[in-house]
Amino acid sequence: MESKIVDHLFRHHYGKMVAILTRYFGLAYIETIEDAVQDTFIKATLQWRKQLPVNPEAWLNKVAKNRTIDLLRSIKSQKVRSEKLLKDNSSEELNDLFLDHEIEDSQLRMIFVACHPSLKPQEQIAFALKTISGFSTREIAAALLTKEDTIAKRLRRAKQTIIKNQLQFDFPPPNEVEDRLARVMHVVYLTFNEGFHSTNKDKLIREDLCGEAIRLCKLLLKKEKFRSGSLYALFALLCFHASRLESKTDINGEIVDMLKQDRSQWFFPLIQMGNSAMNKAMEFDKVSIYHYEAAIAAEHIKAKTFKNTNWNKILLYYKKLQDLQPNTFTLLNIAIVELQLNNFEVVRQILDSFEASDLEQRAYLYYGCYSEYYERRGDLVLAISFLDQAILNTTNALEKRYLEKKKVILQNRI
Amino acid sequence: MKDFMMIFIGADYQELGLSPEELQSRMGKWFAWGQKMEAQGILKGGEALIPTVKRIVGQDRTVSDGPFEDSKEIIGGYYTVSAKNADAVVAIAQDYPDYDLGGTVEIREVMVFDR
């Protein structure tokens, strides 16, 4: 039998099954449920070696369901619904939850649980990647460039908080939807950024993170009550960025900057999707940070070459972004754009208005900007010394190599 | 042609905490390997074993349940294949998917009883 399993079926199905089973049995049993689902995949890897089932998803659902019930039964002194399961036919009720629209509904509930305000932001991302996206602790650690232990701790804390606070597996009440949705969008945005801006050597991990963020965003857009200008704008932003994910690194995994990226490689279908999302976003009155970020990304994509970039427009959007949500990182971006426009005085003023350390682990970008400032002004010696500072302040090997290459080019010009 | 058993030791997925994505990729490799042997007509049989172990030891027939400290490397399954000799089975076993997880393949010839 020539048959193939859909890519990522296990990973995506992990999130689905955990969500459905949690909806039925309750968040208090999330650990047992996760164990049961994990067991299901192990069983599948053994049984499917010989023969793939006719309907893999149905097979997984059935086994996960039964395994959960078994595990819950084996836990003593429980008042779980599994007892109810034994007595009446409520398993039909459970079966209903495996219908497509119910699966989405359950997954959306899980997203809101993951982004519950009682969890810390770092815990939210880890929990979302584990529970909704089916990443293992090790994969999350690799994706977020963090130690496995740290991730395990965050996951543990997240689950403890959920159980201690007796969080319900439900959507937030109408008066809280806007606030909670803002948090959800932020987590989606951060997840994407981890993939997009990360300098993770493993390209697959980066793509997976971006892909997951886009998938979650799509899922949210399916529900009318969650659709908003900012959600559409966020989706547009992710599409625009994702369209050039491929050209951000070369075949050797080395960083390629915007100036040198092969623009013909940018993925057009995603750009189109971004454009239509952006049009939708503009139909709403409220303008969010995502609107401006998407507009900036769109401007970069519109330019046929780096030289043709409309820096004035981008500057305007960055300034609006800064008005809406003041942020040192945006300030740095303003300085970088002003530099492209050769407004040297302004660049200096901005860079002197804050410290490199305000950018935390991205401090090297501050020195990089200063280096380019001196390069453009023709002071290569100072340019190189700031580049040295930048190199000193990055821990990432890929970035270091990129900066060192730049340094060699500058040295050769002296 | 003789029959040989390839016995797979170690690389217990449960213990290793593999992610769903990793499990799927492993499963795909196992499936492809099985298909390949099937197509060559050399696959005689095989089973995957559930990692829970019960042991009966000694004259008292003492029964104990695993996991056991000394059996970290448990047998995960086996395939029986027909081949010319053990070297040919070594060639077949190149496709075993779990070497990178510390897994081992042990090749043993099946004894033929005289009639």
Q: Can you tell me the mean pLDDT for B8-28?
A: 89
Closest CA to B97 of B26, B5, B10: B26
Q: Can you tell me the mean pLDDT for A35-56?
A: 90
Q: Can you tell me the mean pLDDT for A251-278?
A: 87
Q: Which residues of A touch B34 (CB under 8 A)?
A: 49-50
Q: Can you tell me the mean pLDDT for A133-142?
A: 87
- Quote the number of domains for chain B: 1
Q: Which residues of B touch A38 (CB under 8 A)?
A: 20
Range of the domain at B33: 2-109
Measured between CA atoms, the residue of chain A closest to residue B46 is A50
| In-domain check, residue B18 | yes
Residue A111 has pLDDT above 80, yes or no: yes
What local confidence, expressed as pLDDT, does residue A347 receive?
Answer: 95
In B84-103, the residues whose Cβ lies within 8 Å of chain A are none
| In-domain check, residue B100 | yes
CB contact under 8 A, B23 and A136: no
Residue A8 has pLDDT above 50, yes or no: yes
CB contact under 8 A, A41 and B17: no
What local confidence, expressed as pLDDT, does residue A127 receive?
Answer: 94
pLDDT band at A404 (very low <50, low <70, confident <90, very high): very high
User: Which of A10, A47, A52 has its CB closest to that of B23?
Assistant: A10
CB contact under 8 A, A49 and B28: no
A86-100, A332-346, A390-404, B56-70: range with highest mean pLDDT: A332-346
User: Which of A49, A137, A138 has its CB closest to that of B31?
Assistant: A49
Q: Which residues contact A394 (CB under 8 A, 6 or more apart)?
A: A364, A400, A403
Please give, rounded to a whole number of angstroms, the shortest distance from the CA of A216 to a CA of chain B: 18
What local confidence, expressed as pLDDT, does residue A2 receive?
Answer: 42
Q: Can you tell me the mean pLDDT for A353-361?
A: 87
* Entry pTM: 0.80
| In-domain check, residue B63 | yes
Q: Which residues of A touch B46 (CB under 8 A)?
A: 50
* Complex ipTM tops 0.90: no
pLDDT in tens, A290-303: 999 999 999 999 99
* Percent of residues in chain A assigned helix, strand, coil, to nearest 5: 75, 0, 25
Calpha distance A213→A207 (Å, rounded):
10
Please give, rounded to a whole number of angstroms, the shortest distance from the CA of A268 to a CA of chain B: 28
Residue A253 has pLDDT above 80, yes or no: no
Kindly state the tokens that stand for A380: 């290569």
Let me know how many helices (H) and strands (E) chain B has, helices first. Answer: 3, 6
For chain B, percent of residues with pLDDT exceeding 90: 70
A150-164, A205-219, A385-399: range with highest mean pLDDT: A150-164
Higher-scoring residue by pLDDT: B72, A124 = A124
What local confidence, expressed as pLDDT, does residue A85 receive?
Answer: 54
**Half-sphere exposure in the Cβ direction for B98 (13 Å, CA):** 25
Residue B66 has pLDDT above 60, yes or no: yes
Give the CATH number for residue B11: 3.30.70.1060
pLDDT in tens, A313-326: 999 999 999 999 99
pLDDT band at A78 (very low <50, low <70, confident <90, very high): low
B28 in reach of chain A (CB within 8 A): yes
Please give, rounded to a whole number of angstroms, the shortest distance from the CA of A391 to a CA of chain B: 35
First CA to last CA distance, chain A: 66
Dihedral of the alpha carbons of A266, A268, A269, A275, in degrees to the nearest 10:
110
B7 in reach of chain A (CB within 8 A): no
Q: How much is the mean pLDDT over chain A?
A: 88
CB contact under 8 A, B20 and A46: no
Q: Which residues contact B81 (CB under 8 A, 6 or more apart)?
A: B3, B4, B6, B37, B42, B43, B44, B89, B92
Measured between CA atoms, the residue of chain A closest to residue B96 is A49
Q: Which residues of A touch B18 (CB under 8 A)?
A: 42, 136
pLDDT band at A206 (very low <50, low <70, confident <90, very high): confident
Residue A269 has pLDDT above 70, yes or no: yes
CB contact under 8 A, A41 and B34: no
Interface of A with B (CB under 8 A): 5, 8-11, 13-14, 38-39, 41-42, 44-50, 52, 134-139
| In-domain check, residue B114 | no
